């Protein structure tokens, strides 16, 4: 059994995620690779105390990085785009 607090790794604060939050009431989170939509929804509702309308997930491939003549690959990770119900806000992101 996975703990709800362990599913959400960190929020992704980029220009694109900020626009999604302001215009479409969506938040973007990095989550564990083995988490599914239902678990992510339950974790966001329990941890962040908001109502979730929908969850979309994307597997992001890791980048290939070089250090001189050596090449390596970063690990793949999962991104969750969570749509909040109307009139729901998260004080952490809103600066309250």
Q: Which domains does the chain have, with CATH numbers?
A: 4-86 (3.30.70.330)
pLDDT at position 96: 46
Model confidence at 24, in pLDDT bands (50, 70, 90)?
A: very high
Radius of gyration of the chain (CA): 15
**Predicted confidence band at 3 (pLDDT cuts at 50, 70, 90)?**
confident
Condensed to tens digits (0 to 9), the pLDDT of residues 25-51 reads 999 999 999 999 999 999 999 999 999
Q: Which residues, 6 or more positions from 44, have their beta carbon under 8 angstroms from its beta carbon?
A: 8, 27, 29, 50, 52, 55, 82
């Amino acid at each position: 059994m996975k703990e709800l607090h362990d599913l959400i790794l960190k929020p992704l604060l980029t220009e694109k995620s900020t626009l999604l939050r302001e215009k479409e009431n969506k938040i973007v989170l990095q989550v564990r690779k083995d988490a599914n939509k239902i678990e992510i929804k339950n974790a966001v509702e329990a941890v962040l105390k908001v109502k979730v309308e929908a969850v979309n997930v994307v597997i992001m491939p890791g980048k290939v990085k070089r250090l001189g003549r050596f090449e390596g690959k970063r690990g793949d990770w999962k991104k969750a785009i969570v749509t909040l119900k109307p009139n729901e806000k998260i004080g952490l992101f809103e600066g309250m």
